[in-house]
Amino acid sequence: MATQWLTEHEMKAWLRLYAVVELLPSALDSQIRRDAGLTHFEYAALGMLSAAPEQTLRMTELATKTNATLARLSHVVRRMADRGFVDRIPCPGDGRATNVRLTDAGQRKVEAAAPGHVATVRTHVFDVLTPEQVDQLITVADAMLTRLDPDGKKKPGS
């Protein structure tokens, strides 16, 4: 089957999407790194724990919520445990599983970092979009996630 190349219009869209996909993580990362000494991924993980019941999640659940592989998360959780932001607790019900719990120090860290992070997200995303465009963003992102995340694990609050 011959390759169906991108049209000029599609290429235009692709270059913009690609730019966002490359530049947005950098912007998030450098802000939170400078202001809180965390990577954006670390912040996201702490934030998910903060919102979870008992401030606790299994490794696998946390990996799903943060769009990460288990290997990546495992390294990050070890470092954050060393820094006192989380505890690792063997799961009582299942000897294979590990529960990760946010510590008080971890909770304080997220709370301190949150305002700056939200401000960055507002600056780069919501400040420049109309309410209608926010709706369009949801629809378009959902469409792409049907392929990127076929099981629909990354769509909380649908």
Partner DNA sequence: GAAGATTGAAGGTTCAATCTTT
Partner DNA sequence: AAAGATTGAACCTTCAATCTTC
CB neighbour class for 43 (10 Å; exposed up to 12, middle 13-18, buried from 19): buried
- Which of 76, 86, 102, 113 is the binder for DNA (CB under 7 A)? 76
Least distance in angstroms from the C-beta of 115 to DNA: 20
What's the order of all strands across the beta sheet hosting 98-102?
Answer: 56-58, 98-102, 86-90
User: What Cα–Cα distance (Å) separates residue 67 from each residue in 72, 80, 97, 155?
Assistant: 10, 18, 19, 11
Asked if 68 is part of the footprint of DNA (rule: CB under 7 A), the reply reads yes
Asked if 28 is part of the footprint of DNA (rule: CB under 7 A), the reply reads no
Cα dihedral sign for 141, 146, 152, 153? negative
- Which of 20, 70, 91, 105 is the binder for a second copy (CB under 8 A)? 20
Map tokens 């000494």 to a residue: 37
User: What Cα–Cα distance (Å) separates residue 135 from each residue in 21, 111, 138, 139, 152?
Assistant: 19, 28, 5, 6, 19
Q: Using CB distances below 5 to 8 A depending on partner kind, what does residue 88 bind out of a second copy, DNA, none?
A: DNA
Binding mask 95-134 for a second copy (x = CB under 8 A): -------------------xx--xx-xxxxxxxxx---xx
Asked if 151 is part of the footprint of a second copy (rule: CB under 8 A), the reply reads no
| Region of 8-16, 93-101, 114-122, 132-140 interacting with DNA (CB under 7 A) | 93-101
Under 8 Å between Cβ of 142 and 155: yes
Residues that bind DNA (CB under 7 A): 26, 29-30, 33, 39, 41, 58-60, 68-79, 88, 91, 94-99
Judged by the rule CB under 8 A, the positions of this chain that interact with a second copy are 3-6, 8-25, 27, 44, 66-68, 114-115, 118-119, 121-129, 133-134, 136-149, 154-157
